[in-house]
Structure 1
């Protein structure tokens, strides 16, 4: 239950009951019946740019890729980087988003949640109230999807692939 440790005990107990009754897989498959078709870095870039252009017009994104080196164990599912460098008398910034490769074969809602999370960091650097308000503004069911994503990660640890 390492992904659910900060949730109340009664929530953890509900998930444990699903595991004990061998119903965790069906719970996830019923809520998220299929994976997305965004398998390449080019498709991911296009997907991210659609969100960026709708909600974060003034920010530039130079690179978006699936990254096999991002490790869930280190509590990272995606990463955003900001690199600033001086070019002449101007300061240029370069923003990158890297998404863990496990999301190539995950439900689109999970990929959407990660993309929204990483884009929200462009505006709000810290995980504070303003950050989560921005996330829920873009994806209204953000918190439920984040919880289900944690359950999905638990499923991957216990049983492997869902689909």
Structure 2
């Protein structure tokens, strides 16, 4: 592993937190910490299962928002768009009216992560149904839907820094669940 991973995933965090993550990576301890907190990957492997998961969270927390018409894992998302998830509204003309369809795409790497990380990114994208900007209201909504949102985001960013430094994937896909 490279001794100092680029801090791009941890930009904006206090220096002492970034330094502690770097130290844990260089000492080979971050993987153990993350596996201790999040011992196994989730079993939401297909786009259909992801769609059902997103709709369940949306109906529980955002009853008055538009239905999301498409939800999918996107293996190209992180490398092409430098994003972990996207939300979009696509306008389609149907007769004399314009219908808006909402879509959520989640980076394919979330297939092989703990359920907590998947929930964090889904909550983030669902919050965009009500709040388009990353402002105080947006993050309050994220925290309303997932109380540990900020800790999960930090742990996810730490894991991504670990991977960026050459670390091995921590959560293996169970053979029986693979597509």
Normalising by structure 2, report the TM-score: 0.86
| Distance in 2 (alpha carbons) for counterparts of 1:96 and 1:83 | 8
CA contact (8 A) 1:80 1:97 kept: yes
2:107 aligned residue (95, 100, 104) = 100
> CA offsets per residue over residues 98-143 of structure 1, 9 Å max, x none?
0000000001000000100001001000000000000000001101
Deviation at 1:8, TM superposition (A): 0.9
Q: Supply the RMSD in Å over aligned alpha carbons.
A: 1.4
Partners of 2:162 and 2:25 in 1: how far apart? Answer: 9
Structure 1 ranges of 4+ moved more than 4 A: none
Q: Does 1:43 align with 2:76?
A: no
Gaps of 5+ in 2: 1-6, 172-179
Q: How many corresponding residue pairs?
A: 163
Q: C-alpha separation between the residues in 1 aligned to 2:91 and 2:63?
A: 19
2:169 maps to 161
Q: Give the deviation of 1:89 after TM superposition.
A: 4.2
Q: TM-score, normalised by structure 1?
A: 0.94
Comparing 5-14 and 136-145, the one that deviates more: 5-14
Q: Does 1:113 align with 2:120?
A: yes
User: Could you say what secondary structure the match of 1:63 adopts?
Assistant: strand
Q: CA deviation at 1:73?
A: 7.3
**Distance of 1:16 and 1:98 partners within structure 2:** 30
- Which sits farther off after the overlay, 130-139 or 63-72? 63-72
Q: Taking CA–CA contacts closer than 8 Å with sequence separation of 6 or more, which of the two structures ends up with the larger relative contact order?
A: 2
